[in-house]
Amino acid sequence: MQAAADERPGTMAALIGIADDDAEAACQRAEDDVWVANYNAPGQVVISGTVAGIAKASERAKELGAKRVLPIPVGGAFTPS
């Protein structure tokens, strides 16, 4: 896993207070490598991707109504398989 994380650095963030559809739209509007990694609960979605992609999607998410964006300290951009 470390080699994969070193080869392609990434990160994750939790979007709080946003609808699932808006979280997906934020990722698409970022126009970078970023995607929904997990639907934690109603109004809480975790996104994963490149550092730049997460930054862009976080801004789009705020524009779409996210109340908070919480960076998640991780060693890589992980998604469920």
User: Which tokens is 49 given?
Assistant: 């991707």
What letter would DSSP give residue 33? S
Q: What is the CATH number of the domain that holds 13?
A: 3.30.70.250
What is the rounded radius of gyration, in angstroms, for the C-alpha atoms of the chain?
A: 12
Tell me: pLDDT of 80 over 80: no
Instruction: Confirm whether 81 is domain-assigned.
Output: no
Instruction: Confirm whether 52 is domain-assigned.
Output: yes
Instruction: Confirm whether 77 is domain-assigned.
Output: no
Instruction: Confirm whether 63 is domain-assigned.
Output: yes
Instruction: Confirm whether 6 is domain-assigned.
Output: yes
Query: What pLDDT is stored for residue 75 in this prediction?
Result: 81
DSSP per-residue codes, 14-67: EEES--HHHHHHHHHHHTSSEEEEEEEETTEEEEEE-HHHHHHHHHHHHHTT-S
pLDDT digit string, tens, across residues 10-32: 999 999 999 999 999 999 999 99
- Give the DSSP H/E element, type plus range, for residue 21: helix 20-30
The predicted model scores a pTM of 0.89
Our count of domains for the chain comes to 1
Summarize the confidence of residues 65-73 as an average pLDDT.
97
Tell me: pLDDT of 43 over 80: yes
Instruction: Confirm whether 79 is domain-assigned.
Output: no
Which residue range is the domain that position 66 belongs to? 2-72
